[in-house]
Amino acid sequence: MRTEDVGSAGLAARRLVIAALACGGFGIGVSEFLVMGLLPQISADLLPALSRADPDAAHAATGGLASAYALGVVVGIITTPILVRRLSERWALIVCAGSMLLGTIATAFAPTLAIAIVLRFLSALTHASYIGVAAMLIAHLLVSGKYGRGSAIVHGGLTGANLLGVPVLTALGAAGDWRVILGSTAVFFAVPLAALLAVRVPATAVATLEHTSGGIRPRSLLTLIAAAVLATAGGFAIITYVAPVIAVARGGDDWVTGGWAMLAFGVGMNLGNFGSGWIADRRPGAAFAGSAVAGALGAALLLVPGIGGAGAVAAILLVGICLGGGSPPGQVLYMRELLRYPRLASALPSGAGNLGSFVGALAGGAILAGGGVGWIPIGALALVGLGLLSFAAYRVARR
């Protein structure tokens, strides 16, 4: 294959690579959340006897696909940067995109649920590194060094998937074969793979921080990670159980369905992502705190009696802003904490986000089982509040 140098090809080649990397982000979002939407079809195929005898149990078991993916992302925060540390950024992204492409196709052919769960775990190992290194590469290609904006572009593909790709493909999967639909999402990883093979990116493109001196401050870093995980957990405590939460909050406004709620969530994620990405490079602390405050306001709004359908939709939109707006400023803040380890830093926003989603789903489920759906917004508000307190402690520690 003929390769073309970004430096000589100019603006057209830069735009091609940036668009292709965003397409990979779209593929990550689609393949991750599509599995959740197709759980009934997957469980009926891989657990036919249990699905007939106890559908709820079958769905719960098949939910292991989502948990395995989230765990794979968290494990991949450490393992993947170590494995690709000697590769150029271009080849690191080629490895990440190729791994996700093969893992997605293999999952579509999995003969058993156990094998599918293992494949989903393996597919997720390069998730965080792809998003992080792609954000760094885009920042270089924009000739700006603006890592927050680069993160927003890559995450724009992911948030766009929640707004467009996931609803459409979920509907197609429900009416057809889940294996075909899931397998077809591999094309979104083939696009960046082909673009990176065709366009030669300078080896030093995203290595500008590799030689920067600076030590790691464990307390400061861990406090920042805790803030991100807690704020994200609060949002996911609501979104994981959005159907029962909306049913209570909307009152008699039956027009507000789960579909409307998820549409509002998708819009909120995109607003949060691009809004915080725009200011993250200048004021990352304000962008991070603002996103968390939006989540707190959303949870608080769900506690107001008689808010009706419009208020419930507005609350979910605010939660979407919280979950969509945390990664771009997180990218900048982690880069500042880990100046000598930019690839590890670039993987942390996605890793912390997925750990937060895991914690939030567990917390929301425990609250639902122990106190009822009305307590979920209270628990979510407490989690986001703890996240804001942790972030305040981080800011004090940085001074």
DSSP of 296-339: HHHHHHTTSTT-HHHHHHHHHHHHHHHHHHSHHHHHHHHHHHTT
- The mean pLDDT value for 306-324 works out to 92
Distance, CA of 356 to CA of 323 (rounded, Å): 10
9/34 Cα distance (integer angstroms)? 36
| Placement of tokens 């673009």 in the chain | 195
Domains observed in the chain: 4-200 (1.20.1250.20), 218-398 (1.20.1250.20)
| 268 CB burial (10 A radius; 0-12, 13-18, 19+) | buried
Whether 299 shows a pLDDT value over 90: the answer reads yes
Report pTM.
0.75
Return the pLDDT at 144: 58
- Residue pointed to by tokens 């209270």: 378
Q: Quick one: tokens of 76?
A: 């991949």
Q: How confident is the model at residue 153 (pLDDT cuts 50, 70, 90)?
A: confident
Compute the Cα dihedral for 166, 37, 233, 352 and give only its sign: negative
Q: At what angle do helices 89-108 and 11-37 cross, to 10 degrees?
A: 30
Kindly report, residue by residue over 116-125, the tens digit of the pLDDT: 999 999 999 9
**pLDDT recorded at residue 210:** 38
Are the CB atoms for 230 and 387 separated by under 8 Å?
yes
More confident residue, 299 or 136: 299
Q: Of the ranges 214-218, 298-302, 380-384, which one carries the lowest mean pLDDT score?
A: 214-218
Helix (H), strand (E), coil (C) string for 224-249: HHHHHHHHHHHHHHHHCCHHHHHHHH
The pLDDT of 322-326, averaged and rounded, is: 91
Distances (CA, A) of 282 to 82, 231, 332: 30, 22, 10
pLDDT above 80 (res 48)? yes
pLDDT band at residue 328, thresholds of 50, 70 and 90?
confident
For 57-105, the pLDDT digits (tens) are 776 677 778 778 888 988 998 899 888 888 888 899 999 999 999 999 9
**Is the per-residue pLDDT at 20 higher than 50?**
yes
For residue 43, the model assigns a pLDDT of 85
pLDDT at 1 over 90: no
Q: What is the mean pLDDT of residues 21-40?
A: 85
CA nearest to 192, candidates 95, 84, 105, 87: 95
